[in-house]
Amino acid sequence: MKGFKFAGIRAGIKKKDQKDLGMIYSDTPAVAAALFTRNKVVAAPVLLGKEKIKNGLCQAVLVNSGNANCFTGQKGIEDAIACTKIVAKSLDISEDFVLVSSTGVIGAILPMDKFETGVPALVGQLSENHVDDFADAILTTDTCRKIVTQTGTIGDKKFSIIGIAKGSGMIRPDMATMLAFICTDINILAEDLDACLRKANETSFNRITVDGDTSTNDTLLALANGAAQARVTDANSKKVFQEALTKVCFELAKMIVKDGEGATKLVQIIVKGAQTKQDAFKASEAIAHSNLVKTAIYGEDPNWGRITAAAGRSGAHVVPENMDLFFDDQPLVLKGNWQGAEAEKKTALIMKNNEITITLDLNLGQETDSFLFCDFSVDYVKINAEYRS
């Protein structure tokens, strides 16, 4: 990626012997856009980030895992600001161009001594080749790093995008996932980057759930440093970039759900044939967030009544007698009628797959929406019961 460098090290913030401090650095101040959590309990880095992003530029991002710096009062704000100062001094850049982000346990004060020694060491590790190190440093309960790359062409000029995310639990975004960072070398105005990011987010990070919990630290940040010759100058070039950005965001969102805490299956629920777009959203969201549906998926039980019941309580306009329900291509309900024991047996076999598509056709209109979600397993309870130990 032209003009971007990455690093990730173990600074000692986590109890375990894992990387826990990462950095993204642009050789020049990059155009920046960001979306943050809508939770009313908000982490200090989010409060600071909402103010800093207003200038539309960012050159360095510092991310720590193991400590959310949330519910830490004025001390948390002061520590977040102090982190930007440490980064700015170490890189010899303006602190106005430094953003910080945190993830981990809520309520704990940042161990600032770890940042004072860790940030200079981190700066010494910055390299175009250290994306994996950065991706590892921002993980918490994740079982794998999450990186997606994409290239595109505007005219005869190429551009690249790389997306790096973390997220496994506390995932019910009302804007983004827990943490996601998008870097691109395209030349684009701040207002266009913001518009593209919002549009990409709506069909990706805003359409996933693991457990129905919205994080206090959710941040989706995009940086465009203009190092490539490709430029967004009109509707056509904006469309090309939008498609590439949306693909990166969707694939990252999919990886987050697939790596959901204790998850064994990735499920897409598609609600089609709705009278309105809002009806399609309401029904798909209710099904994706239903614990009864999620446990049935884990148990590989084609308990279709849980799905139709979730749609019925969603607030969407539904007519039970009109409903069709499919698991992949297997019909389980047609025009409100159960298709019998043989159909359930075939559906049960489909449910053994790691990835499943459920389609609910309301047969009332033309609107469609969808969500990605995962099952609930015993391991989810264990992971979260032991999270702080």
Q: Per-residue pLDDT averaged across 180-208, rounded? A: 97
Q: Per-residue pLDDT averaged across 278-296, rounded? A: 97
Strands (E), 68-191: 98-105, 146-154, 157-166, 179-184
In the chain, residues under CATH classification 3.10.20.340 are 266-385
Q: Using CA atoms, how far apart are residues 118 and 365, in angstroms rounded to an integer?
A: 57
Sequence length of the chain is 389
Q: Using CA atoms, how far apart are residues 65 and 18, in angstroms rounded to an integer?
A: 10
Residue 361 confidence (pLDDT) above 80: yes
Give the model's pLDDT for residue 177: 56
| Nearest C-alpha neighbor of 173 from the set 35, 286, 307, 358 | 35
Q: Which of the residues are catalytic?
A: 177
In the chain, residues under CATH classification 3.60.70.12 are 4-258
120 dihedral zone (left: phi>0; alpha: psi -120 to 50; beta): alpha
Which one has a higher pLDDT value, 39 or 19? Answer: 19
Q: Using CA atoms, how far apart are residues 130 and 132, in angstroms rounded to an integer?
A: 5
Band (85; pLDDT cuts 50, 70, 90)? very high
How open is the CA angle 172-174-175, to the nearest 5 degrees? Answer: 120
Instruction: Specify the CATH number for 4-258; select among 3.30.750.80, 2.40.50.360, 3.60.70.12, 3.90.550.10.
Output: 3.60.70.12
Residue 176 confidence (pLDDT) above 60: no
Q: What is the pLDDT of residues 50-77, one digit of tens each?
A: 999 999 999 999 999 999 999 999 999 9
Residue 252 confidence (pLDDT) above 90: yes
The radius of gyration computed from the CA coordinates of the chain, to the nearest angstrom, equals 22
Phi, psi of 114 (to 5 degrees): -70, -30
Give the model's pLDDT for residue 175: 65
Q: Using CA atoms, how far apart are residues 184 and 98, in angstroms rounded to an integer?
A: 17
Give the model's pLDDT for residue 356: 98
Report helix, strand and coil shares of the chain as percent, to nearest 5: 35, 30, 35
Q: Per-residue pLDDT averaged across 175-183, rounded? A: 82
What 3-state DSSP class applies to 306?
Answer: helix
The tokens for 119 are 């940030």
Number of Cα atoms under 13 Å in the Cβ half of residue 138: 31
Residue 384 confidence (pLDDT) above 90: no
Q: Using CA atoms, how far apart are residues 191 and 107, in angstroms rounded to an integer?
A: 35
What 3-state DSSP class applies to 352?
Answer: coil
Is residue 68 within 8 A of residue 104, CB to CB? The reply is: yes
Mean pLDDT taken over the chain? 96
Q: Using CA atoms, how far apart are residues 185 and 90, in angstroms rounded to an integer?
A: 24
**Topology of domain 266-385, CATH:** Ubiquitin-like (UB roll) (3.10.20)
**CA quadruple 81, 101, 176, 54: dihedral, nearest 10:** 30
Q: Using CA atoms, how far apart are residues 104 and 273, in angstroms rounded to an integer?
A: 41
For residue 147, give the amino acid letter: I
